[in-house]
Structure formats: structure tokens, C-alpha cells
Structure 1
């Protein structure tokens, strides 16, 4: 979706960062983010016949799983490439382009609304949660995931490589405005759901080891995906080479006997009732 009056500088930067990178994300970090999908659908009480809205669908992992449960799925994403991939992956779903914090749906249009690692990418997370609640019918569930802080050791691998190479975060990469930020803890995310007037808000810390390869894990940032990808995209070739060398060295501590990586990750899974 094009920029709107509701966009913050953070939102605008996110749109630029993700433009044209759907395939790179699908081939790298999408499998990582898919790990929480069954848990997310469980706490959202998604079953056969549920009218579900999947916000920030990406390449469609949540939509595919929800269709497999017999839900009536609508999925949205701000990035056209993501919406195209999702439409192909989940042909039974209605896939649209739309962006938080304004969704093109009536109040109470859905039985359940989910956002898998979407709040990490919006400039106004409180307004975004309020919008998720608005389009959920009274008594319906809203469920979200975000990355926890502190995170798992695997989450820090690429950032550690950047630091070890002596490369600083570029000043043009915006951070969330302090007044919009919140603690990435169970208490912090539960508080955010309470502010959005979701009742019975609850949050769990969930962890897993993500199995991948060095090439797959490097491929996303090498194509400009995520913050590390934006750092690589703006760095000179020599700095990128230093980061890659540091990544290879640091990967040794996560390398299994078969040569794959086992990267510990920690996320927050939260839900509440509209």
C-alpha cells in the first residue's frame, strides 16, 4: 500500500526496506517465523469456519496453515511482492494489499485476527493493536507474536558479526519513537494488549532452535532483508567481507555435527479477547 497520513518515519523506512525483497525473505527468514504459526492459531482459537484475518501475511505461511484448518481466511500485506506470494501459496484465501494502522474492513468483521511478527515492523504498535481489535467481533480473539528482548543466542548471531567487523549501524536507519516503544517482555506485551482494551490478555515466552544452513542464514541479509541486510546494503565491499568472515567464525558455536546451524530463538506469543 502507498504511504498514508498515518505513516511515521519508521513505517516509511520499513516500506522502503521491504520493497522488492519478498522472494529473498521467503528463501531465508520465512521458515524461522513460521515456527510460531501453530501456536498463534491455537491461542486465536482458529478452527473450521473461523473468519480469520491474517495481518502482515508475508509469503502466506499463516494463511496456508489456517486454510488447512478449514478457516475462512483473509490475508493482507503492505508489500505487493509478499501479497503475490501469499496469493499463490494460499489460493483459498482472499489476499489484499493493506497496511496498519488502517485496515479496509468494517468493525467486527472477523472472528479472529492474528499478526505473526508484525508489531516489530510498525511505527505505532498501540494504534496497530487497536485496529486489530476494531476489526475483531466482540468475543473474538486477537493474537500476535513479537521477538523477545533479550532474545536467544541465535537471534544475536548476525548482529554480533556486524559488531565484530567494526561496522556501525547507519544513522539513516530509524528506530521506533521512544513514546511508541514497549518492553519486549511478557509483562510489556501484556500491558500493550491491555492498553488496546483486549480483555483477558496473556503472554507466553516461547523458544526453539531454528535449523538452517550458513548459506540460507546469510542469504537474507545479503539480499538486503531485515536491519542487518540494510547495514550490508550500505556498507563498502571490504566491510561486507569482514562481516561475512566474522559470521563464519561465530557460526562455529552453533554448528551441529551435520554442518547445519541450530540457532536458539525466543519470542513472545500474546492474545486477548475483543
Structure 2
């Protein structure tokens, strides 16, 4: 399995800087997650796919017994190692560098999961959903970037692009080096259903996208309470059509059994290249099958597949 991976480490990029000046986006997403993450229950093991530097750990670290952050960016994970040093040191949190298309986990490794601000990086999203989903035992929360939100439809009508926006195929935007993909919500839900998941919409988020970045700061301060009230109302009333970020809660029709070894992180892991079992030392995991070696560096485990594999 192979797919284009956005290189968030290019030119020493630090994802934390993305949030500078994006107070409204951060607030809207935080408020939404405060209400949605409790749907994931109190898992023994939880995974955050595309977790970045651990920005959303505050929403689940107190309800999950143990949690795992997965990201492809080494910079993000080094930052997460500092931000979450206490939990990493006590064995409550684990940081894994991996490709979401080739995960180093066994089936049903985690009780629950979340994936936020990630799917727009995945050109082969249907396959990535299957790959992520096979590692989730019970339920997960997904942030789906849609192309047919209210503003997207208005723009498409002006440009004569409505068929592409309303159709089932993903829509590519952005630059060639960092493309972004937006999807039709019903198509994604159908793909999840085909993979064994029942879904329901839980919220429309970022409904007044970038409004605070287009106005003077004094006007933003005045209008902020109104914008926040509209965002809160639209989170429910705009499900499926208003905001560009539509959150979906997915649960298996038949919950899979838990792993026998409830305490061990290594018991949840396999070689991402050949699915072979791993021999562990304090700083290296070596595959019994293909002999690939994966190392512990800078506070995280690097399970990216060597290019020759």
C-alpha cells in the first residue's frame, strides 16, 4: 500500500505556528470536541490518528486509561514528547511515528479513536479509513472535510462547478506540493458502512470559517459573542450541510473482543511492512519476518517503513 504523504517537516515547519491568529477556529473546534469526545467512553486504550503535537490530548487524556498519538511528522512528535512528558514518562501516553496507510498495530488494538484535521491529507482516503478502522475495536470520531458545505456550493454556483462539488468524487484544492482533498459526506459514510461501521452526524464545525481574519480586531472583539452564538447553534442545525468540517461518530455493528494482554503496548504492535511480530529492546523493535528495525528517538517510536521495504 502506498500513498502520497504530506511532509510536515519540510523547511522545518512547526505546526504549532498554524494556530497563530486562528482563535476562532481553535475555539470552535475545542467547544465541539468538549461535547463529542465523551461519546468515546472511558477506553482502556485510545488512539489519536494524525495527532500532531498533541493539541487535542486535553480532551481525552483524563477519560482514557492509556492513549497513543500517531503522526507522520517527527517535529510534531518531538513537540508532543515535551508537551506530554509526564504521561509519556509514566507509560500513560505513547508516541508513534507512522504512515496512516501502513499502521504498525494489530487488529482491534484500541477501544476507541479519533481523527481530526487529517482526512484532507489523504488522497486514498477510502483505503486509509479501512486501515485505521481495522485497529479500532469499538468506536471512533471522525472529522470529515466536505466539499459541498454552504460556502462551497455558493462558490461552485458562481464558477459553474456544481456537478463536481455535488458528485461523489473527492475534490482537490491547494498547491501541488500540499494538496488538500474534500469529500462528499454521504460517500464517506457509505465507505464506513461497507467497512462495518454504523455512523451518525454529531456536529458541523467551523461554520463561520475565517470570519475573524477578514475584519479589523476591534470589530472582531465586538462581534465575537454573536459569532460564537451562531457557531454553537450551527453545530447542530448545520449538520451535513453548513460547515466545512462535519463530525461523524462511528460504531461497530458488532463490537470486537478486547486483546488478551490488556496492559502491554508491544502486544498491540506489528511490523507495518510485513505484519510480522517484533522483538523488542529498550530502543529498538526488530521484525522477525523481514528484519526491518524500528527505533525509539527523541521520545517517540519511529515505525515508518524504510524506503527499500
Smaller-chain TM-score range? Answer: 0.5 to 0.7
Which of 220, 233, 241 is the equivalent residue of 1:256?
220
* Residue number in structure 2 paired with 1:104: 104
Which of 172, 177, 182 is the equivalent residue of 2:176?
172
TM-score (norm 1): 0.62
For CA contacts below 8 A with separation 6 or more, give which structure has more relative contact order.
1
Summarize the alignment of residues 198-213 of structure 1 with structure 2, pairs less than 5 Å apart. Answer: 198-207=196-205
CA contact (8 A) 1:46 1:52 kept: no
Which of 3, 28, 52 is the equivalent residue of 1:7?
3
CA contact (8 A) 2:205 2:244 kept: yes
Name stretches of at least 5 consecutive residues in structure 1 with no aligned partner.
157-168, 218-246
> Are 2:55 and 1:24 aligned?
no
* Residue number in structure 2 paired with 1:127: 127
Q: Aligned residues, how many?
A: 210
Q: Distance in 1 between matches of 2:104 and 2:67?
A: 15
3-state SS of paired residue (2:38): helix
Q: Distance in 2 between matches of 1:82 and 1:271?
A: 26
Q: Distance in 2 between matches of 1:149 and 1:255?
A: 29
CA displacement, residues 62-106 of structure 1 (integer Å, 9 cap, x when unaligned): 223211224310111111121122222333121121121111111
Report deviation, 1:260. 6.0
CA contact (8 A) 1:198 1:272 kept: no
CA contact (8 A) 2:49 2:71 kept: yes
3-state SS of paired residue (2:220): coil
Q: Distance in 2 between matches of 1:150 and 1:19?
A: 34
TM-score (norm 2): 0.56
CA contact (8 A) 1:57 1:77 kept: yes
Larger Rg belongs to: 2
* Residue number in structure 2 paired with 1:86: 80
Summarize the alignment of residues 1-274 of structure 1 with structure 2, pairs less than 5 Å apart. Answer: 6-8=2-4, 11-12=5-6, 15=8, 20-29=13-22, 31=26, 33-43=29-39, 45-47=40-42, 49-91=43-85, 92=87, 93-137=93-137, 140-151=138-149, 172-173=176-177, 175=179, 182-183=183-184, 185=185, 187-195=186-194, 197-207=195-205, 217=213, 247=214, 251=215, 255-258=219-222, 262=227, 265-274=243-252
RMSD of aligned residue pairs (Cα, Å):
3.8
Report deviation, 1:117. 1.9
* Residue number in structure 2 paired with 1:238: none
CA contact (8 A) 1:64 1:90 kept: no
* Residue number in structure 1 paired with 2:293: none
3-state SS of paired residue (1:36): helix
Range 108-117 or range 59-68, more displaced: 59-68
